[in-house]
Amino acid sequence: MKVVTVVGNRPQFIKAAPLSLALRAAGSDEVVVHTGQHWDDELSAVFFSELELAEPRYRLDLRTADAGRMQPAIEEILAAERPDWVLVFGDTNSTAAGARAAVAAGIPVAHVESGLRSGDWAMPEERNRVEVDRLAALLLAPDKRSAATLRAEGVPGRCIVVGDVMLDACLALAPIARRRSTILARLGLEPGAYTVVTVHREANTAQPRLGRIVEGLNRLQGRVLFPVHPRTQAALAREGLALAPHVTVLPPLGYLDLAALAAQARVIVTDSGGLQKEAYWYGVPCVTLRPSTEWPDTVEAGANVLVDDEPAQLEAAVAAATMPAVRPQLYGDGRAAERIAEALDNLPAT
């Protein structure tokens, strides 16, 4: 069986890592296509070297998030490779481009993280999720809630609850990150004595939201570590927004350094869907800079608080952040990649 896997940004590299190993173990031929949606070395090339992943067979190097520009290039690859499946992850424009290209080429789509919904139609990610779920022949849902959402929407593809491949990656890589990364020593940090911040979503890098988020960060007590995404760095400079001295601005971090930093923080402040889950698995309370989330179980468990861009709410939530005494196991058991590889191998591709 041949599978073309389309990836374009860091979270998708994380998700693809355990699945690539599972596909290899199952004897499948995987062809990885890197769209180049994230082209900064710290967000792509370094990641591949850290996780010891095989280099993608195709690097489009388009340096764009425009799905319309990605699709024709992916279609050319599919025409040459003629895979049994096209595998896409999550909700990015690379996901949408890969799914559209597969449908145009008459090749079935398997969508990892099917059925997630934030309810926020202003987010391009939400629109991508809904579109790709409707295009997919195989809907690989992380939990029963997502599967129920797909049933309620009448989505036609076959749905299988497999768990979350990010949990597979987290269980395998978090111990390696703590062992190999020296970032806490380099920055003079004590575990549990700092806050980690990530901001990258398009809405949060525009005014007035970005200014309100910066105001909230400047109100926080204690040391704050802020690895700044290139998009966010450009927006901060463009808008002339200054961070307080207690906020340490860092360049984008490799995955192992970021995992080590986040796993040992007192609080994580983020707009990343993936980091909301990772915080839960690390046992670190999370404060989310969005009005909604596609991972509501973390909020219902008391481990995650939505503050949107309100500075006072951000300040109060970070000060009060704690993990619940009892945490249910969320999003699987760490064997999602194995189940996905089995499903692709056993199900007819047409």
**Residues in contact with 254: Cβ distance below 8 Å, sequence separation at least 6, in sequence order:** 42, 46, 47, 50
| Calpha distance 219→167 (Å, rounded) | 33
Token output for 16:
């693809």
| Calpha distance 111→150 (Å, rounded) | 12
Beta bridge partners of 6: 33, 88
CB of 93 closer than 8 Å to CB of 122: no
Token output for 88:
């896409």
Amino acid in position 271: D
CB of 27 closer than 8 Å to CB of 113: no
Q: Taking Cα atoms as reference points, which of 62, 38, 14, 49 lies closest to residue 230?
A: 38
CB of 119 closer than 8 Å to CB of 325: no
| Calpha distance 73→97 (Å, rounded) | 10
Is 246 a catalytic site residue? Answer: no
What SS3 class is residue 208?
Answer: coil
- 10 Å Cβ neighbour count for 206? 12
Token output for 224:
């704050």
DSSP type of residue 44: T
Token output for 63:
């340096």
Q: Single out the catalytic residue among 34, 111, 200, 229.
A: 200
**Residues in contact with 297: Cβ distance below 8 Å, sequence separation at least 6, in sequence order:** 143, 145, 328, 330, 331
Phi, psi values for residue 30, rounded to 5°: -105, 130
Catalytic residues: 200
